[in-house]
Amino acid sequence: AESRIANFGAGPSALPESVLVEAAKGLLNFNGTGIGIAEISHRSKEFGAYIKETANLIREQLDVPSTHEVLFMQGGGTGQFSAVVLNLLARHRLLHPDLPEHDRILDYVLTGSWSKAAYTEAMRLAHGATVRIAADSRAHSADGKSFDGLPPHSGFTFSPNPALIYYCENETVSGTQFAGEEGTPTSFPFHLLPTDAGLLPLVGDYSSSFMSRPIPRLADHAIIYAGAQKNLGPAGATILIVRKDCIVDVDAAAKIGGAPVPISLAYRPYAANDSMPNTPSVLAIYISGLVLKRNKALGGVRYYEEFNRRKKEKVYEVLKEGEARGVFKSKVREGEGSWMNIVFGVLGDGAEARFLEGAELRGMKGLKGHRSVGGIRVSLYNAVTEEWTDQLVAYMRDFIAEQS
C-alpha cells in the first residue's frame, strides 16, 4: 500500500505486506470457519491443527531433531530470562540431588545489555545457586566498559558441570552477533564447552535473529528461544526449541531445593498439551504461521541467509566509506557486527538529528538507536526488502557526500 514507508525498526518490526493482507482476511474469517482468528476458541479443531502445523513449519525449516520439542509460550524474551533458570535448576536438582545448592553453577556469557539483563534475572532467582560470568566482552573493549565487540575465544572459561550455560546470539542493542563460521573468532566457541558433563544445558537467546539464517549446532542446545516480534510475527508469542531432558517435573525438583516454579513458566505443561495448557497467543501464532508458510515458499532459512547477507554487506560497506570520510563511526569493532542490527554514530554537532530527519523526509523510519547507546540503529530483519536497503544505502552515500 502506498501509505506504508520503509521501516527499519528494531522490534516490533516490519512484516511482509502480503502476509498482512492475508491476515486481514483471517481476522474476519479464519480458514473458512466464519469466525475471525481473534475470536475463535483455541480449542477448536481448526486452531488445534493450525498450531501443530506452525510448530512443524519451524521444525522443518530449522531441521529440529526429534530430541527437541517446539513450543509456544508467552512472556517474551524476558519471561525466558526467568524460565530457563527455573527449569534448568530444577533439572540439575533432579540429576544431582545431593549437591549443595551453591555448587549448582549458572554460567553467563555477557556480550550486551540483553545477556546482562538475563544474568541480572538469574541473580534474582538463583536461590542459593551460584551465578558466574563465563566471558564478558567489556573486559576486551577499548575503554574497558563497552559492549563493542565479541570476547575472544581465549576469554571464555566454562564450569565443568553447570546447571546452565547462557549466551545471546544476537545483541539487538549493542549490535554484535556470533555470526562467524564455526571455529572462527566471531563464532560461539562450541569447542570450549565441557565434554564430560553429559547433555549440555546450553541456552541460546535467539530473539532478534531467529529464522534469519540456520542455527549453528542447534541439536547441541538445551533451549533456544525467541520472541516472535522481530523476524517472525507480532509480539505476544515466544517460540522455544527445548531438548526433552530439559522438560522436567518442577514439583519433584522443589522437594530437593529451591522455590516452587510458577506453573505458567514450567515447560512440562506446554509440552504435554501442544503448547496449550491455557489460552495461547492465538493471533500472534496465526500471523507467525503465515510468515512461515511464505518463508517456506521462498526457500526457508537458507534463502534468508543469502538475502540477509547481501543486505548487511551493502550497509556495512557504505558505513565503512563514511568512516573513512569522518562522517560515521561504527559502535562495534569491524567484523564483529550483527547482520540484523547495525549501530553507528554520526559525527558532528547535531548531525545525528539531521541524519534522522533526512531519512524521514525520504520515507525511512525506525533508525534511531536505543536510548542506552544513542546513535543510529539499522535493523535489517527478514521483512526489510532489498529495495528499502538500497534506498537507505543511497541516502547514506548522499549524506557522506554532503558532509565531507
Chain residues in the site for ligand PMP (CB under 6 A): 11, 76-78, 114, 168, 172, 205, 207-208, 227
Q: Which is nearer to ligand PMP, 150 or 318 (CB)?
A: 150
What letter represents residue 141's amino acid? S
- Distance in Å, CB of 78 to ligand PMP, minimum: 3
How far is Cα 285 from Cα 233, in angstroms, rounded to an integer?
Answer: 8
Cβ contacts of 16 within 8 Å, gap of 6 or more: 291, 294, 382, 383
- Distance in Å, CB of 164 to ligand PMP, minimum: 16
Looking at 107, 148, 230, 312, which residue is catalytic? 230
- Distance in Å, CB of 357 to ligand PMP, minimum: 25
205 has catalytic annotation: yes
- Distance in Å, CB of 208 to ligand PMP, minimum: 4
293 has catalytic annotation: no
230 has catalytic annotation: yes
- Distance in Å, CB of 322 to ligand PMP, minimum: 26
Closest-CB residue for ligand PMP? 76
- Distance in Å, CB of 236 to ligand PMP, minimum: 9
Q: Which is nearer to ligand PMP, 227 or 375 (CB)?
A: 227
Q: Which is nearer to ligand PMP, 14 or 396 (CB)?
A: 14
How far is Cα 137 from Cα 355, in angstroms, rounded to an integer?
Answer: 29
Q: Which is nearer to ligand PMP, 12 or 358 (CB)?
A: 12
Q: Which is nearer to ligand PMP, 92 or 221 (CB)?
A: 221
How far is Cα 160 from Cα 86, in angstroms, rounded to an integer?
Answer: 20
- Distance in Å, CB of 150 to ligand PMP, minimum: 15
Looking at 107, 205, 339, 388, which residue is catalytic? 205
Q: Which is nearer to ligand PMP, 77 or 189 (CB)?
A: 77
How far is Cα 76 from Cα 88, in angstroms, rounded to an integer?
Answer: 18
Q: Which is nearer to ligand PMP, 77 or 300 (CB)?
A: 77
Of 362, 373, 350, which Cα lies nearest the Cα of 396?
Answer: 362
Write out the catalytic residue numbers: 114, 205, 230
